[in-house]
Structure 1
Amino acid sequence: MLLDPSRGYDLIGDIHGCAHTLETLLERLGYRQQAGVWRHPRRMAIFLGDLVDRGPRIREALHLVHAMVEAGQALCIMGNHEFNALGWSTPAAPGSGRHYVREHTPRHARLINETLEQFVAYPQEWREFLAWFYELPLFIDAGHFRVVHACWDAGLIEPLRAQFPDARIDEHFLQASAVPGSFANTALDRLLRGTDMRLPHGLTLTSDEGFTRAHFRTKFWEEDPQTYGDIVFQPDALPEAAAQTPLSELQKTELLKYGADQPLLFVGHYWRRGKPAPIRPNLACLDYSAVMYGKLVAYRLDQESRLDAHKFVWVEVERQESPQ
């Protein structure tokens, strides 16, 4: 995707329905509302996905971002929560043995419930937003920088480009993603959820939200990891026994690595905490747990080829970001 090189870009992390905080962040970045759309005279926003679920003003956040995109004031990529919403709402392919692409389990229902409740009185709007989600590309490759929700995997992105030159999937690809081991399943899981690894010794983790997992999210850039603790990339720490477990040589060779010589890469997804900063000179995560009263974070990108720690801008999410 060719973007205007003379324009600056403000990359914004996972919103999850924190619409009031998003307005505050846009104001801080110099955007102003004109004719119902947030605009900047010289810059464009790029949203990293996960507009929906969990938060108090999901409908307002969707309207705000959609209006900016339609007016040419922003771009937005797909997050795993937009993908989940499509899967929840789309019947599975005949003969698949499933009812929906994303089955209506209690766990899945819990994740999307807040979104569905906020659209109970606006069913037509929800259908229109679901159709819009198909217009959200899985990634943006602008040459000197790249944007993907969770993980850049060139081995999957190149065949995706061949099938979808604009990086926008269709319903058939969505349905194919319900088949474990299919290309669609592998590609969407990697780009939208990242890389993971099974915990050693049969251990499991229970997150703050009460979800129990046997896998943990992993870094996709570590050059010389030695233990499980060297590659963990999630808010929940590994049990000490797991963190100290050495990686096998096979595990090391199978780890994905985004090289230090690659273009700038921006991701969301990972629920970071603390002061926003580059992970390394060409990699930044902009998800700082906004909906958990963390920070809604932006990076002000111009023409730099290495990230500048002073160009992160954020707003602390306050308790007034709550339903009316």
Structure 2
Amino acid sequence: MAGTIHTASRGYDVIGDIHGCGNTLAMLLEQMGYSKVNGVYQHRRRQAIFIGDIIDRGPRVREALHLVRDMVERGSARIVMGNHEYNALGYCTRARPGSGRTWLREHTPRHDRLIRETLDQFEDYPQEWNDFLDWFYTLPLFIEEDDFRAVHACWDSELIERFKREQGGACIDEEFLHASADISSFAGEVMDTLLRGTDMRLPPGMTITGRDGYVREFFRTKFWADNPRTYSDVVFQPDPLPPEVASRKLTEEERSQLITYPSDAPPVFVGHYWMDSRPAPLKHNVACVDFSAVKYGRLVAYRMDGEQELSKDKFVWVNVVRDHRDSPDYPISEDSVAR
């Protein structure tokens, strides 16, 4: 059984954001040598590590959730929480009386749109959805092994160490969820940083409009930049900065606010960032495995075998294409697997 393999002899396959691409996930697992045993995917010598964001946007959220949870419960996979699982908990949890809100994550048009596919697919299975919401509380925010780490968006050692001391582990509870609704609180900072990443405010009066149409006054930043000097050295998001902003020099105050990831730290894997280039490490010990699968990109995994310098040759993926045999509006996979 996969769950009985000793850690020292086991390899890991770190899998990027799935977002309801259940067929694609099955193809990727099979490409990597996983097969079903009593209905659950497993590998004789390896364990999958899901980087979060199993839900929302795609056509097979329910199927993907069942596949992933079955693997986790069997011991053939582990998982960290993504911001979409966190968002779902907030969206479906009533705020406490006197808080001035109805839900922890208010039901605005934008929030409604982000979770709509998930709620629609569970419309006939309300108890299943409630069970999955309970399961989300069991998802750790991070995984920390001797030779690698995994977190959805950003590894902040100071926040993580304080979280472990105060929470006694890697998971949140309902009390922490409620506390995190205040973004200025410690709980709010933990969830925003680890699950959404770090950001920096744009110059006064400037905004950028993302591909999703959302107008922002902040841009996402790297947590691993070495000796950055300009905004272009730290920006990390699909939407580019205007040239006049990208060339702007960082002030000493701005530089002091940046998180750094030491070059001698174990490799860390993240998702979240909608990459669209050919998979490769971001740094010798930092890799992103989110390559926009649900937007007809790639569902990507990194095959980790204890190396401390990551290699582009260890990435595998499945291309996601439109297939009219299913629906022109949703992605599924064809036989377009590549290494």
TM-score by length of 2: 0.92
2:26 maps to: 23
1:61 maps to: 64
- Is the 8 Å Cα contact of residues 15 and 296 (structure 1) preserved in structure 2? yes
Q: What is the letter of the counterpart of residue 283 of structure 2?
A: R
> How does 1:1-324 map onto structure 2 within 5 Å?
4-320=7-323, 322=327
- Is the 8 Å Cα contact of residues 21 and 293 (structure 2) preserved in structure 1? yes
Q: Distance in 1 between matches of 2:190 and 2:119?
A: 27
Query: Which 5+ residue runs of structure 1 have no aligned equivalent?
Result: none
Residue-by-residue CA offset, 1:292-315 (whole Å, 9 max, x unaligned): 101100000112111121110011
Identity between Structure 1 and Structure 2 (%): 59
Q: What is the letter of the counterpart of residue 63 of structure 2?
A: E
Q: What is the letter of the counterpart of residue 24 of structure 2?
A: T
SS at match of 2:300: strand
Q: Distance in 2 between matches of 1:119 and 1:186?
A: 31
Q: Distance in 2 between matches of 1:305 and 1:283?
A: 10
- Is the 8 Å Cα contact of residues 281 and 311 (structure 2) preserved in structure 1? yes
- Is the 8 Å Cα contact of residues 92 and 178 (structure 1) preserved in structure 2? no
Task: Quote how far apart the aligned CAs of 1:164 are.
Answer: 2.5
Residue-by-residue CA offset, 1:37-82 (whole Å, 9 max, x unaligned): 0111111100000000111111110010011011111001100000
Residue-by-residue CA offset, 1:196-232 (whole Å, 9 max, x unaligned): 0111242212222221111111011112111111111
Q: How many residues align?
A: 322
TM-score by length of 1: 0.97
SS at match of 1:318: strand
- Is the 8 Å Cα contact of residues 141 and 170 (structure 2) preserved in structure 1? yes
Deviation larger for 290-299 or 196-205: 196-205
Q: Distance in 2 between matches of 1:164 and 1:139?
A: 13
Q: Distance in 1 between matches of 2:139 and 2:118?
A: 18
Query: Which 5+ residue runs of structure 2 have no aligned equivalent?
Result: 1-5, 333-339
Question: Which runs of at least 4 in structure 1 moved beyond 2 Å after TM superposition?
Answer: 163-166, 320-324
